[in-house]
Amino acid sequence: MKEALFPALLDPPDQVALRFENDSLSYEQLRNGAARVAERVAGAKRVALWATPQTQTCVGLLGILAAGVAAVPLNPKAGQSELRHVVSDSAPSLVVAAKGAELPPTLAGLDRLPVEQGGAKGDLPEEPEAESPALVVYTSGTTGPPKGVVLPRRAVRSNLDALAEVWNWSSDDVLVHGLPLFHVHGLVLGVLGPLRLGGRLHHVGRFSPEAVCGALAQGGTMLFGVPTMYHRLANALEKDASLEASVRGARLLVSGSAPLASREHVRIERATGHRIVERYGLTETLMNCSVRASGDRRPGYVGLPLPGIELRLAGDDGSTLDVSDDETIGEVAVRGPNLFTEYLNHPDETAAVLRDGWFFTGDVATRAPDGYIRIVGRRATDLIKTAGYKVGAGEVENALLEHSAVAEVAVIGEPDEDLGERIAAFVVLRGDARCSSQELSDHVARLVAPHKRPRTVHFVDGLPRNEMGKLLKSKLVSPSPEDAG
């Protein structure tokens, strides 16, 4: 007998499954709504999902998955050209959306299935095959047109079970977050995670510190967020001590999608007593590593590989770097049941990154003596080769963020006739703070090796980021440089 992806839908517990602001659904209501959607989409190959933060979006998703059809989540804030590309590339049969949701002209050519809630009991279809596609999630497209990552049910199931093991995540937990629902973090971990376990999700709609604190005060036990959210939460906690008790009452705070600065770890711990858990994943792999709920929560480290997942660091020639000195940098390659099947319509690009069962992530990292992984950036943009050394941009960024005048920073390599590449920093200062390039360069040299200091510092008003808070380094444009010497 095939293992159900969502056992709680087969025998619904008498409890709330989903809460979005003032709207909530029980497990029975979710099952009944999903059954109606499944009946309507049965036989389709791919179905688009207009991923607004609403209970209807979750009903639509569960119905698509129950029918054994691949869901293609669409970002409601995406531009028309991006939407046009995703729809053209994935060729969905129709679009599932909340009743009354306004869809853009780009989707006018697709038949629409409005999701309604309530109604009579519905029966779910037989469980689909484990290798059948569950989702086609499009990458952020920071280095080219977005690619459709085909994630099988096997990857979703195994990854959520691994996270449940390392985080002690159970049906007793109430997850709180305000993440968007078109990507892995908010949709797979943040919606499918609690539903697979028979737990509860309290989605606050649009994120605000007050909203998540209010949800945690109402029984929330876990909080998912990205670094920008934790930065704002830390600010709010420092200004309003009355918010602290709600966060202190949570069981686990998890940060992902981008590295969390050490400064934010310290601020959250000082205000709430919580040390944040970091994890590491990609669209193609879901989650690869995490700090355990019972493990050492060290800023800058994403912990150990999850159960069932193998991870190695590879050199430039693809060979394994058998080192654990927390200094040698290699490309992260992973193998396990969490891997995607293919890039939709891109067999050559799939073959380039999936080799002998290993997925070469393009991320670079170090491994500490105790096995903890430290991600230092992307191979294409964050591995800087300067004066014969390999330097991870993330390490320099973390050092700069330790300076009291620095609010945000991005570090890249710029061409240099003498060094090959010089380390260049784009720095956003805090409020009215002032400091010189030399001061920042000397600050880094004191914290890490001198050869890792930035040679050039660009002071800028802001940094380009996507909706998940990730830096878009390809969009950084150098102003007239101020040489740091």
Q: Above 50 in pLDDT, residue 481?
A: no
What's the token pair of residue 414? Answer: 């710029």
CATH of region 7-373: 3.40.50.12780
What residues form DSSP beta bridges with 24? 19
Stronger pLDDT, 259 or 380, i.e. the higher one: 259
Instruction: Look at residue 467 in the predicted model and tell me its pLDDT.
Output: 64
d(CA 249, CA 219): 8
Q: What is the C-alpha R_g of the chain?
A: 23
Q: Encode pLDDT of 392-405 as tens digits.
A: 787 788 888 889 89
CATH architecture of 387-483: 2-Layer Sandwich (3.30)
CB count within 10 Å of CB 20 equals 20
**Whether the Cβ atoms of residue 62 and residue 40 lie closer than 8 Å to each other:** no
Confidence grade of residue 60 (pLDDT, cut at 50, 70, 90): very high
d(CA 297, CA 85): 40
Q: Encode pLDDT of 406-446 as tens digits.
A: 988 888 888 877 777 889 999 999 888 888 999 999 898 88
Domain ranges of the chain: 7-373, 387-483
Cα torsion 45, 51, 56, 62: sign: positive
